[in-house]
Chain A
Amino acid sequence: GEDVEQSLFLSVREGDSSVINCTYTDSSSTYLYWYKQEPGAGLQLLTYIFSNMDMKQDQRLTVLLNKKDKHLSLRIADTQTGDSAIYFCAESIKGTYKYIFGTGTRLKVLA
């Protein structure tokens, strides 16, 4: 079945780059997404990448997609304390209305 995996925790120092990784199993995914969840809040879309792209850059965010290895990463440049949150990777399943979410990576930014 479909599955999306992420490491649970990441800790970085303010100003450093953060890289959050995700692996997925469904090779027919149409889009892959990164969502951010701040404490006590719902999920907010950060960025997404279409499955036929390798890279997408959006200000401090860079998404890399390796389709061969089914690996997705999110790089946050110049990480700030306001970036502390849980980051979820998600894939949309082709031909359906379903999303599959990863377990989420809790990013802690140390001042």
Chain B
Amino acid sequence: NAGVTQTPKFQVLKTGQSMTLQCAQDMNHNSMYWYRQDPGMGLRLIYYSASEGTTDKGEVPNGYNVSRLNKREFSLRLESAAPSQTSVYFCASQRAELADTQYFGPGTRLTVL
């Protein structure tokens, strides 16, 4: 089992460019999450998908869109990148049960110039 995988590992964008961060899990988990990590601010939830076919906004959704492509894959799109979106992005997954353990990917380090 690879667990949770994310691509790319690193990315540099110019302001206004768009890109999609990919996430996949092979644990047959129902719920998937996107977080961003900024110094001194911990992890903040951007969007989550409680199950295939549903997505919901988290704490900081502005400037992002998500797609739950199938049970395995959950992508995060930046339509018009801004320097404030420079961050480390983590994808996580968990089984269906509420309050179950979340498993994290290795992260994508994004810099927007």
Q: Which residues of A contact B (CB under 8 A)?
A: 4, 8, 30-31, 33, 35, 40-45, 48, 88, 92, 94-99, 101-104
Tell me, in angstroms, the Cα distance from A48 to B102 when the chains sit together: 11
Q: Is the CB of B42 within 8 A of A95?
A: no
- Contact with A104, one of B42, B99, B106 (Cβ below 8 angstroms): B42
Contact A42 B45 (CB under 8 A): no
Residues of A within 8 A of B90 (CB): 42-43
B69-108 contact mask (Cβ, 8 Å, vs A): 1 or 0 = 0000000000000000000001010100011011111110
CB of A8, distance to nearest CB on chain B (Å): 7
Residue of B nearest to A99 (CB): B102
* Shortest beta-carbon distance from B65 to chain A in Å: 19
Given contacts A4-B42, A31-B99, contact A98 B105 (CB under 8 A): no
CB contacts (< 8 Å) of B41 on chain A: these are 103
Known contacts A97-B31, A98-B48: A88-B107 contact under CB 8 Å: no
* B-chain residues with CB within 8 Å of residue A33 when the two chains form the complex: 101
A-B pairs with beta carbons under 8 Å apart, 29 shown = A4-B42, A33-B101, A35-B104, A40-B107, A41-B107, A42-B4, A42-B90, A42-B105, A42-B107, A43-B90, A43-B92, A43-B104, A45-B101, A45-B103, A88-B42, A88-B43, A94-B98, A95-B98, A97-B31, A97-B48, A97-B98, A98-B45, A98-B58, A99-B33, A99-B45, A99-B102, A101-B35, A101-B42, A101-B43
> Contacts A42-B90, A42-B106, A43-B104: A96 and B42 contacting too (C-beta < 8 A)?
no
* Bound Cα distance A85, B90 (Å): 17
User: What separation, in Å, do the CA atoms of A4 and B45 have in the docked complex?
Assistant: 14
Nearest CB in chain A to that of B49: its residue? A97
Per-residue interface assignment for chain B, residues 41 to 75, with 1 indicating a CB less than 8 Å from any chain A CB and 0 otherwise: 11111001010000000100000000000000000
Cβ B42 vs Cβ A102 within 8 A: yes
A8-B40, A30-B99, A43-B102 known, 12 other contacts, Cβ within 8 Å: A35-B104, A41-B106, A41-B107, A42-B106, A44-B104, A88-B43, A94-B99, A97-B31, A97-B94, A101-B42, A101-B44, A103-B40
